[in-house]
Amino acid sequence: MKKLSLISFFFLTFLGCEAKKIEVPDATKSASKENRMNSSEIAIIGGGCFWCTEAVFESVPGVEEVLSGYAGGKNKNPTYEEICTGLTGHAEVIKITFNPKEISFAKILDLFGESHDPTTLNRQGADVGTQYRSTIMFLNNTQQELANEWKKKLGTKLIDPVVTEIVPAPTFYLAEEYHQDYYKRNPNKGYCNFVIRPKLKKLNLE
């Protein structure tokens, strides 16, 4: 009986040790994810309809997250319907979380310039209004300097002047849920087929 109890004791102890081992990988993954997020940087840009700009940057290596939203206007917590009036002052923008070890802010600006027309004021294609303006909303002095350098350099390559505004980042308001990951969720809808997909192919992102 004592022998059986001793065996049971060691068996249960073994199981207990194994249970603890199972928990370790999850803790490691959580710490790793937290470290990645702590080393990430943010960029806020707008270049027309955010369905399109979101799709472009979601396809880029080094980009960890892209959120569609509104920024730069007077209304707090604006809705899409309010934005569409063009009277709120907000622009459709995307908030990019990226790993600077994989892609730099300067590279993000280069792709930004390639993915929209920075010479058209308050317009991108058929989308017209201040909400579709070309904008870079910097979060620090380094981003401001890089944005100014980008605009100056791009201006020497284009015939028409670059009208992209460069402003301090205001409050970012997250857009409604149905706007998030729009291209991924609706790849066969008209706008996705005729506007987004051709742009992704042109940029070699699809």
CB atoms within 10 A of CB 87: 14
32, 58: one domain: no
13, 97: one domain: no
Q: Which residues carry out catalysis?
A: 49
31, 44: one domain: no
Please give the sequence-ordered ranges of beta strands (E in DSSP) within 23-169, or none if there are none: 41-47, 63-71, 91-98, 123-124, 127-128, 134-138, 165-168
Collapsing DSSP states into helix, strand and coil, what is residue 59? Answer: coil
Q: What is the pLDDT of residue 197?
A: 97
Q: What is the pLDDT of residue 52?
A: 97
Q: What is the pLDDT of residue 37?
A: 58
List the CATH number of the domain containing 151.
3.30.1060.10
Q: What is the pLDDT of residue 26?
A: 54
Q: Which domain holds residue 6?
A: 1-38
Asked if 132 contacts 87 with a C-beta cutoff of 8 angstroms, the reply is no
99, 169: one domain: yes
Q: How many domains does the chain have?
A: 2
Report how far residue 53's alpha carbon sits from residue 92's, in angstroms, rounded to the nearest whole number.
Answer: 10
> Consecutive 10-residue runs of the chain (206 residues): their mean pLDDT?
44 39 46 64 98 98 98 97 96 99 98 98 96 99 99 97 98 98 96 96 95
85, 144: one domain: yes
